[in-house]
Amino acid sequence: MITTRAGINNTFVESRQFFGRRVIYSSESEITRENVVEVLKKAMSVHLINSSEIDYLYRYYRGNQPILQRVKQVRPEINNKIVENHALEIVDFKKGYVFGEPIQYVRRGESEEISEKITQLNEYMFAEDKAAKDSELAEWFYIAGTGYRMILPDTHFNEEIDESPFEIDVLDPRYTFVVYNNGFGKKPLMGVKFIKTIEGNYIYSVYTPTTYLELEGWEIVKEQPHVLGDIPIIEYPANNNRLGSFEVVLGLLDALNNVASNRMDGIEQFIQSFMKFVNCDIDEEDFMALKELGAIKIKGEPGNPADVAIVSQELNQTQTQVTKDDIYQMILIICGMPDRNGANRTTGDTGQAVILRDGWSAAESRARDNELIFKRSEKQFLKLALRIARDYSGLDLKLSEIDIKFTRNRTDNLLVKTQGMQNQLEAGIHPQIAIANSGLYSDPEQVYLDSLPYLKKWLSAKATATPGNNKPNDAESKLEGDAID
């Protein structure tokens, strides 16, 4: 963490800079009753630093930014404190762009039986409002660089009454952490969530793959085994460095607030300019009369002419706007945000040129990167969800049979994409490959399987071609036979 004090026009604002959250490691291979206190003490010393930074970023996101503590030494009575909350803009855009539509679980195989089971799993997730909780989780890891989800069995589950055998919760990362082994694989050793009592004592809930331990202070007050076989607290990092979405531009965001505040000060100081009296002797009573009447009579002397004028120097608004636009543009570029001024440009660009010029391609590439990291944690979550569903409701489904799909608007350049897919089909490319490469669908495999009855034309061409190494699956063989007959 770096703390600096930047001075602009005798204005001093404290600006903090962070470099991501620290991952908590331990050399222990297993957490037991004997070593949990020692490991927990070391982990807390690291987590408290992370917690302090997360709290700062969370308050920053809500609008509590350093400009509100601004101190102005020259004319302190004119001290505007303008917060342009672009941190909220960045987080809300990324959250809406990636998680605006519910995440869907789809089949990876071709069995209709698997489809029915996955449909049941999606119903469980719907019953637990997982889409809303995904959005809440995304808000945390875009703010803090990391987030945490917890899943536990519904101990009172009844298939006739309850709609889901498990319960899902999003945890506050200021009071949650996971400790990893520093050996090969970096496997999680324990998940911890804690609260601080009014008396200032900490109560810790510690989960290992086999045991739940509860500590008050550094004393174990409860210990019981569980049958989950894994840690029910799963960390969802935003990236490998656990950097929040606006964390890398904190300095620029503070500078933008300073520019906006000083700009308002400049306008107000111009309106409330001092009056200058040259070779005039005026008392307070005469000055108040001047303010009331708006005019004054003065008398000069030979060789000493009298004069009354306003001391003013107007801020150059054009240059200030150029500075402000440059800072904002740099924030958008660094954060992978689309350019909001693109619609105001008068150019002949269309289609993909507009997407590339206005930064939407950068936003999409960042979103795909977020998806990959999210899926890694989501698979850990699904392992536990599937185990609980199997034990409590008999839903027999393997993780390898499920694919995780994000849904976003794929209709940009719709004509170009559909023409590209048609050209591939006419050139003899397998329909499955053509659909996947068109970029039209978030789940091309499912689209292909659902469209098999309508792909007879292209599959019949495949059947009459020279046989290759790739053998058609059962569904394709049946359709090809029907098409040839």
pLDDT in tens, 98-124: 888 888 888 776 666 787 888 888 888
Under 8 Å between Cβ of 213 and 191: no
Determine the pLDDT at residue 438. Answer: 79
DSSP output for 295-320: ------BTTB--EEEEE-----HHHH
Determine the pLDDT at residue 391. Answer: 87
pTM for this entry: 0.76
Average pLDDT taken over every residue of the chain: 79
Residues 446-453, mean pLDDT to the nearest whole number: 79
pLDDT at 336 over 80: yes
Partnered with residue 204 across adjacent β-strands are: 194, 215
Q: Work out the angle at residue 312's Cα, subtended by the Cα atoms of residues 311 and 315, and round it to the nearest 5 degrees.
A: 160
157 and 27, same structural domain? yes
> Is 310 among the domain residues?
yes
Domain boundary among the residues 322, 342, 358 is at 358
172 and 80, same structural domain? yes
352 and 482, same structural domain? no
Under 8 Å between Cβ of 148 and 176: yes
> Is 402 among the domain residues?
no
226 and 168, same structural domain? yes
pLDDT at 485 over 70: no
**DSSP state at residue 294:** S
243 and 185, same structural domain? yes
For 438, the domain range is 410-485
- Residue percentage of the chain with pLDDT more than 90: 27
Residues 452-470, mean pLDDT to the nearest whole number: 62
More confident residue, 469 or 313: 313
Determine the pLDDT at residue 257. Answer: 85
Q: State the residue for tokens 């996955």.
A: 118
75: left (phi over 0), alpha (psi -120 to 50) or beta: left
pLDDT level of residue 52 (50, 70, 90 thresholds): very high
Determine the pLDDT at residue 358. Answer: 63
**DSSP state at residue 240:** T
Residue 283 main-chain phi, psi, to 5 deg: -95, 180
Number of domain units in the chain: 3
User: Alpha carbon of 365 to those of 281, 356, 394: distances in Å?
Assistant: 70, 11, 39
User: Alpha carbon of 114 to those of 117, 391, 447, 479, 483: distances in Å?
Assistant: 5, 18, 16, 21, 27
413: left (phi over 0), alpha (psi -120 to 50) or beta: left
438 and 320, same structural domain? no
> Is 459 among the domain residues?
yes
> Is 376 among the domain residues?
no
Looking at this protein, which amino acid is placed at residue 415? L
119 and 29, same structural domain? yes
Q: How many CB atoms lie within 10 A of CB 76?
A: 9
79 and 58, same structural domain? yes
Domain boundary among the residues 323, 358, 393 is at 358
Determine the pLDDT at residue 193. Answer: 94
More confident residue, 404 or 111: 404
Residues 58-67, mean pLDDT to the nearest whole number: 89
Residue 382 is encoded by which pair of tokens?
A: 């699904």
Determine the pLDDT at residue 355. Answer: 53
256 and 196, same structural domain? no
Domain boundary among the residues 247, 278, 299 is at 247
Determine the pLDDT at residue 109. Answer: 64
> Mean pLDDT lowest for which of 178-187, 357-366, 432-441?
357-366
pLDDT at 207 over 70: yes
273 and 174, same structural domain? no
Cβ-based burial of 215 (10 A; exposed 0-12, middle 13-18, buried ≥19): buried
278 and 168, same structural domain? no
328 and 239, same structural domain? no
Determine the pLDDT at residue 347. Answer: 54
User: Alpha carbon of 458 to those of 184, 232, 384, 421, 424: distances in Å?
Assistant: 48, 48, 42, 12, 11
Quick: pLDDT tens for 139-156: 999 999 999 999 999 877
